[in-house]
């Protein structure tokens, strides 16, 4: 059994099948080490009540994440084919067409288990992890199944983490 993720500790690495721009490919968390921050968004599943709207909001703010050298990755226990299907459905019909970041499949639930987000019923809790360029968890939060997350607050937290790392001993005074 993997230890629970902790602030200041290395994030559990993973390899998963990702879908981006209708193409399948392997995505490894370790590929971003020394290059970018990573915002891992765990969500219960495609076509669930909160997930599509929330994932679209993250997509709409992708330029803000890019300015912060942050890669957004969304992970659910859906299959890659379910991801492809949701990405082919228009936003008007609760799909994820034109999403600007990859969806990662965790069909065997290994990633979700490693991040301690799998319920006893086999559902994935909505969790968010901010991982720095060294692969260290700087922040995480977990919500109940029907609570959404604030994109603006996560951008502010990333800004704060980056400021403190560049200015040791100084508190972030931004928004």
Taken in order of first residue, the domains within the chain and their CATH numbers are 21-166 (3.40.30.10)
Pair of tokens at residue 74 = 């969304």
C-alpha pair distances (Å), 6 with each of 9, 34, 98: 5, 20, 33
Query: pLDDT digits over 5-49, tens only?
Result: 899 999 999 999 999 998 999 999 999 999 999 999 999 888 777
pLDDT under 70: residue ranges of the chain? 1-3, 50, 175
DSSP letter at 124 equals B
pLDDT for residue 22: 85
**Dihedral angle at the C-alpha atoms of 34, 39, 41, 42, nearest 10 degrees?**
40
pTM over the 0.85 mark: yes
Q: Rounded to whole angstroms, how far apart are CA atoms 88 and 97?
A: 5
Q: Rounded to whole angstroms, how far apart are CA atoms 29 and 117?
A: 17
Among 111, 134, 116, residue whose Cα is nearest residue 14: 111
Pair of tokens at residue 143 = 């919500």
pLDDT for residue 1: 57
């Amino acid at each position: 059994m993997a230890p629970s993720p902790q602030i200041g500790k290395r994030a559990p690495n993973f390899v998963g099948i990702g879908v981006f721009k209708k193409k399948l490919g392997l995505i490894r968390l370790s590929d971003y080490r020394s290059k970018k921050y990573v915002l891992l968004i765990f969500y219960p599943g495609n076509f669930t009540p909160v997930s599509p709207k929330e994932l679209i909001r993250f997509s709409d703010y992708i330029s803000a994440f890019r300015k912060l050298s942050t890669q957004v990755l969304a992970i659910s226990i859906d299959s890659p084919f379910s991801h492809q299907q949701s990405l082919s459905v228009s936003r008007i019909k609760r799909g994820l067409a034109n999403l600007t970041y990859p969806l990662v499949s965790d069909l065997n639930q290994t990633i979700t288990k490693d991040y301690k987000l799998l319920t006893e019923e086999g559902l994935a809790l909505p969790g968010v992890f901010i991982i720095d360029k060294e692969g260290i968890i700087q922040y995480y939060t977990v919500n109940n199944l029907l609570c959404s997350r604030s994109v603006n607050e996560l951008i502010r937290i990333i800004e704060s983490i980056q400021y403190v790392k560049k200015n040791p001993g100084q508190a972030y005074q931004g928004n």
